Amino acid sequence: MTDTEPALIREEPARRALDSVVIRFAGDSGDGMQLTGDRFTQSSAVFGNELATLPDFPAEIRAPAGTLAGVSAFQVNISDHRVLTPGDAPDVLVAMNPAALRSNLADLRRAGTVVLNSDAFGERDLAKAGYAADPRHDGSLDGWTVYEIPMTSLTVRAVAPTGAKPRDAERSKNFFALGVISWLYDRPPDTILDWIESRFASRETVLEANRLAFRAGWNFGETAEIFESGYEVRAADLVPGEYTNISGNTAMAWGLIAAGQRSGLPIFLGAYPITPATDILHELSKHKHFGVRTMQAEDEIAGVCAAIGAAFSGHLGVTTTSGPGIDLKSEALGLAVSLELPLLVLDIQRGGPSTGLPTKTEQSDLLSAMYGRHGEAPIPIVAPRTPSHCFTMVIEAVRIALKYRTPVFLLSDGYLANGTEPWLLPDVERLPDIGVAFADGPNHGSEFWPYLRDPETLARPWAIPGTPGLEHRIGGIEKEDGTGNISYDPANHDTMTRLRAAKVAGIAKDIPLTEVDDQDGAEVLVLGWGSTYGSIAAAVQRVRARGLAVAQAHLTHLNPFPPDLGAVLRRYPKVIVPEMNLGHLSRMIRAEYLVDARALTKVAGQPFRAAEIEDAIVEAIR
């Protein structure tokens, strides 16, 4: 530590205990809010809180500074008990400029706290945010507790010893804000300081500036006496073990690597950059020593086609995509259905149609995954429910793909992809063994028939190039049952169509039964899938806390459905299906089981608030 660095003031102030708090950091895209939120999250995770996060950033890389379009926010819910969602409404809003205040204030809990950067409230800043008058003085903030802190100028002053120019010095103001909030909620500062140290190791001045800004923010909280008191959120009572904080996309990439290890197959990813799936490509590209080949293809179609080529050659073929990418891959997926080769399609759903809302979450690809191809082209579908669950479900998707020689859709979404949660690390030795054997000899007398099926799974043999004697030709034209030769015979087409359907339907025998969180006397079942899990579970808890009975089930397998699902649904007079679309799962349920499932829909680019689902459940009960 140099002389210029003040020590952290660590008096033990009287702190008020909270069981949880929801904080939203909001600022301009260039203000580093994602990083600030991420660091706060990390130190909370290490501290031992339960947590869930919700990053929310604009699609534009650099929207005009200070405008509403350029606001980037990061919400985190930290708690001393189990957390299911990033929180309905923030308790605290950190607003780095007027635009951030304006676009986020409405979400803030009544009587909540606003911490704002008062240096950013000049006339021009207000105008850019569309404020006719200064909201600090016109009553707009009545009802909230407001702390005005001149963050920019305090940062510039704190950073002065580094000799950084004011313009550069200003850039550390997010670390000042992080220092203030870290003090306010008693986060262990060392986690953040250590991280600054390693992250900026190669940039001495920046490192020093960020460190000084963070300390100044912390000490400001301690000494400025503007806050009545600090708070503490005690560590949660987590299952013992080793944890890391993980996002859905990272969990997906690691799960794939695990699937490669557990199947003994090299991984081939064919992908075209597309938000919000691209981070999987980024992450996998780093881990080539696990036998991972990544190809940034010329387009979405080439990405999936190259993966099909790799699958034909005996690799674990994977393609990642989102939004319009799914449309573009449809034809190739039909080919994969016809070739009956293992293939994984990781669809990180986003708002549609067309370009839609690239950075916002939605669950509107379910019907597309289910039916979005010409002809009868069934594809199994699975869906993870939380960020870390992506790890588990991608292994499950690979298991199904390999065992049944079929493309499999995994439907994640923007919320799971970018959201994080603490994850109890699994014992890698105990992950499922999903290895499969390649065909190694004739299967029909002295001949090899590429479409002679396993009577149990209906899967065809996987014979890879390089295996002498098993040379064969396959393609998208209808094939004769057994030999795989081209066949235009109508009866054969009928047989093959039904076989492909039966193969996928038969997977139902090989997946877990529906897990129902039942309650005595429950007349309403809330059925969900994918990322709505947290909001639904939180809503169910609240309903029960009100003394009402409700049951919950969350599907991880959407095609086929678990074999007992029909029976489960019929046990409840009312079924509510919350989903971030206009009713995909509910339609499938109604069609399949003739059950009056009611959709609760939302397509606002944001996950459900628990309260929205709570209201719907209560209404259904009454």
Site for another protein in 240-299 (CB under 8 A): 240-246, 254, 257-258, 261, 266, 268, 270, 287-293, 295, 297-299
Token pair 């579908």 in the structure block, residue: 381
Site for another protein in 26-85 (CB under 8 A): 42, 45-46, 48
Question: Contact between 309 and another protein (CB under 8 A)?
Answer: yes
Looking at 66-74, 126-134, 424-432, 500-508, which segment touches another protein (CB under 8 A)? 424-432
Answer for which of 317, 342, 358, 528 binds another protein (CB under 8 A) is 317
Of 200 and 290, nearer to another protein (C-beta) is 290
Question: Is there a contact between 539 and 610 (Cβ–Cβ < 8 Å)?
Answer: yes
Question: Is there a contact between 84 and 27 (Cβ–Cβ < 8 Å)?
Answer: no
Q: Among 578, 579, 580, 577, which residue's Cα sits nearest to residue 603?
A: 580
SS3 call for 345:
strand
Of 196 and 305, nearer to another protein (C-beta) is 305
CB of 387 to another protein, least distance (A): 13
Instruction: Retrieve residue 435's tokens.
Output: 């290895």
Gyration radius of the chain over CA positions: 27
Answer for which of 140, 153, 467, 497 binds another protein (CB under 8 A) is 467
Site for another protein in 328-387 (CB under 8 A): 331-332, 334-335, 339
CB of 240 to another protein, least distance (A): 3
What's 43's DSSP letter? H
Site for another protein in 181-210 (CB under 8 A): 191, 195
CB of 384 to another protein, least distance (A): 17
With a CB cutoff of 8 Å and minimum separation 6, the contacts of 18 are 231, 232, 233
Of 472 and 493, nearer to another protein (C-beta) is 472
Rounding to the nearest 10 degrees, give the CA dihedral for residues 602, 605, 607, 613.
Answer: -20
Q: Among 405, 325, 416, which residue's Cα sits nearest to residue 368?
A: 325
Site for another protein in 117-146 (CB under 8 A): none
Of 45 and 410, nearer to another protein (C-beta) is 45
Token pair 């000042």 in the structure block, residue: 176
Q: What are phi and psi of 528, to 5 degrees?
A: -130, 180
Q: Among 152, 193, 149, which residue's Cα sits nearest to residue 169?
A: 152
Region label for 285, one of left (φ > 0), alpha (ψ between -120 and 50) or beta (otherwise): alpha
Answer for which of 33, 76, 308, 600 binds another protein (CB under 8 A) is 308
Of 251 and 525, nearer to another protein (C-beta) is 251
Of 26 and 310, nearer to another protein (C-beta) is 310
Site for another protein in 468-487 (CB under 8 A): 468-477, 485-486
Instruction: State the Cα–Cα distance between residues 526 and 512, nearest whole angstrom.
Output: 19
Token pair 């992506």 in the structure block, residue: 390
CB of 601 to another protein, least distance (A): 35
Size of the site for another protein (CB under 8 A): 71
CB of 173 to another protein, least distance (A): 24
With a CB cutoff of 8 Å and minimum separation 6, the contacts of 331 are 301, 373
Of 36 and 552, nearer to another protein (C-beta) is 36
Q: Are strands 420-424 and 407-413 parallel, antiparallel or unpaired?
A: unpaired
What's 344's DSSP letter? E
Instruction: Retrieve residue 492's tokens.
Output: 């054969």
CB atoms within 10 A of CB 39: 24
Looking at 22-30, 63-71, 314-322, 597-605, which segment touches another protein (CB under 8 A)? 314-322
Looking at 82-90, 158-166, 371-379, 425-433, which segment touches another protein (CB under 8 A)? 425-433
CB of 477 to another protein, least distance (A): 7
CB of 373 to another protein, least distance (A): 12
Answer for which of 139, 466, 521, 547 binds another protein (CB under 8 A) is 466
CB of 489 to another protein, least distance (A): 15
Rounding to the nearest 10 degrees, give the CA dihedral for residues 319, 323, 324, 326.
Answer: 40
